[in-house]
Structure 1
């Protein structure tokens, strides 16, 4: 898919972060976009920003949907058919995600399954709902956003990270398996898996919004404020910005890449895990990789 002009794209989690930036860049390239998110306020900001960049004739629509619930995903697909007056789409970007459910042992089952459902079933349900519309197009492409936690299931030795990592491993495996499936059964449709490192998005803040009552984070207002501060730091001190990440993804689609790593941290961690997989969960493995990366990019 060398050119997005005149195409129709679907972006989940389009209210903020990479979803918003991909919507803006697609619109500017002449692509109509249908986004979904759980925040109508966030989506309104995306629609306004995208419409300001879009040439005449490009349509940007928004639909409130929880991607972890199949009936809402199906309703989103119906919205796309009606609002864009189409029986097909060209690009599906499964971007929506949250964190949470870090410990399988000690965290509430409900929070664990909520994170897993958004990050895995959100991809699965949308792939099911929109695959017929991708196949109906003359060319189609599905982009599934995994993570570095789709090949390294850790945030370091002191932090359990099971629900998100399990979901992102599933996304990676599903997308890689789709390559052969599509080649055999729908050769005009292709797939890419995206594995971002630390990107400047609101995922930590959105996770806090999802689970942010005091009981969910295990403490009082002080702990909530500390979690909020960490979320803002994650957003504001990233190695790669959301606009840059969006560009890498869309350039990867244009280049026909099935495996898209985003950020020098993702590349360094991927190389380290492949080189010494049995050491990946010992000591400060990931922290050492990131420290080496910071040393390498430090100005002379």
Structure 2
């Protein structure tokens, strides 16, 4: 398969880049930091050969997405699976959230999915199929304290995937979300140890998920192994969302 992964220079995106390369696929990964991306590209090519490509750009900017689309077709000829992983987190209650932060979260977490999918869907329709996998969150399935903008943006993705699944299934295109809980990415690990401990203790498994586990879920949804999955929000929460709230016996 030919895979395009946004937000591919760190965390869950980088884990996915490595997993797809390990399993023999061609990968084009995208990030805003050109220096980091090019250094990573050289490292990956030493390990996996020339099946890897990098594009430096901002997937919230339609002009960059247009350039990325052309570059992807030039390097890969076609894209079989688009993984929309780029996104940011901004915390805070609604009245504490600035207009600028609200717009930044929606641009990175929702607009980028709109722009990227809009660019590549016509190609997938013409080629007779493909898969799109978006990184949503358990925070799009239920509410959190002090995460107003993030909850709203991820909630938009949770329902967007259902609409896209209905519209494009007849073209052989499947659209699904992964919905991780807290994940041991560099951003999460930058939290103080006591904060990390709270998230671990809140999880029935006693730990948060890893980027590699999320990458495995992305791989499943991108591949034929999930050929009957369309419009789903696949939770990777360790069971956090299954509790009624009643006390343990």
Q: TM-score, normalised by structure 2?
A: 0.83
Q: Could you list the runs of 4 or more consecutive aligned residues of structure 1 that deviate by over 6 angstroms after TM superposition?
A: none
Instruction: Give 2:218's match in structure 1, choosing from 246, 249, 253.
Output: 249
CA contact (8 A) 2:3 2:27 kept: yes
Match of 2:203 in 1: none
What's the secondary structure of 1:96's corresponding residue? coil
CA contact (8 A) 1:11 1:19 kept: yes
For residues 240 and 113 of structure 1, the distance between their equivalents in structure 2, rounded to whole angstroms, comes to 28
Match of 1:163 in 2: 149
Gaps of 5+ in 2: 201-206
Structure 1 residues 229 and 189, CA gap change in structure 2 (3 angstroms): closer
State how 1:1-300 maps to structure 2 within 5 Å: 7-54=1-48, 59-84=51-76, 86=77, 88-100=78-90, 102-154=92-144, 156=145, 160-184=146-170, 186=171, 188-203=172-187, 229-230=191-192, 239-254=208-223, 255-256=225-226, 257-258=229-230, 259=232, 260-264=234-238, 267-269=239-241, 271-272=242-243
CA contact (8 A) 1:14 1:46 kept: no
Match of 1:208 in 2: none
How many residue pairs get aligned? The number is 237
State the Cα RMSD in Å.
2.9
Which digits, 9 at most, give the CA deviation of each residue in 1:124-163, with x for residues without a partner? 1111111122223343000011000111121x3xxx2111
For residues 35 and 28 of structure 2, the distance between their equivalents in structure 1, rounded to whole angstroms, comes to 16
CA contact (8 A) 2:133 2:221 kept: no
Point out which structure has higher relative CO (alpha carbons under 8 A, 6+ apart).
Answer: 2
Pairwise CA distance, 1:122: 0.9
Pairwise CA distance, 1:120: 0.6
For residues 52 and 263 of structure 1, the distance between their equivalents in structure 2, rounded to whole angstroms, comes to 34
Q: TM-score, normalised by structure 1?
A: 0.70
For residues 7 and 193 of structure 2, the distance between their equivalents in structure 1, rounded to whole angstroms, comes to 18
CA contact (8 A) 1:99 1:203 kept: no
